Amino acid sequence: MKKNTLIKLVLLILFIVALNSLKAQTSSEKVHKEILETLKLWNTAASAANVDKAILLFDNSDNIMLIGSDSGEVYKGKDQIKGWLTQIFKNVSFSWEMNRIDIDYNGNTAWLFVDGLMIVKFNNGETFKKPYRFSGIMVKKKKTWKWRLFDGSEPKQQ
């Protein structure tokens, strides 16, 4: 009798562990998919040089930051970021070939790293690609992920 109860208890524990593992994996896949969708929206807004759509992808906090790859490109708060986007989108649009995307999260906060190429398109039609990577922190607000920190960089070419 005791052996039978012990076997049932062990099976119940194994079932609970397997169920929790499956639930965590499903949750992780869902978050990953949501963040990939936000990156797609970011790419679409930047390639269309659409300031309004791009700025909607940032959190409403005064502490959000965008750090560009050029010296001095450090912008804090929506007004500064919107001003920079407005200025840069007058002459160029850009998008990314995202060859590597790493995402991790804890609750409603996620951090990511993207490596690939930036495609820069000037208003005169000239286009070029260059290695580019960015990392950032996102927070989930209601059902969408928003940038809290975007940090872009151009890796040194050998």
Mean pLDDT, 10 residues at a time, the chain of 158 residues: 67 56 63 96 96 96 92 94 96 95 95 96 94 97 94 87
CB 134 within 8 A of CB 155: no
Looking at the chain, how many residues does it have?
158
What Å distances lie between residue 21 and 16, 26, 54, 142, CA to CA? Answer: 9, 9, 36, 25
CATH of the domain at 140: 3.10.450.50
pLDDT of residue 71: 87
**59 found inside a domain:** yes
- Say whether pTM exceeds 0.85: no
CA distance 7 to 57: 52
**158 found inside a domain:** no
CB 99 within 8 A of CB 86: no
**25 found inside a domain:** yes
User: How many folded domains does the chain comprise?
Assistant: 1
Structural domain boundaries enclosing 28: 2-153
pLDDT of residue 22: 46
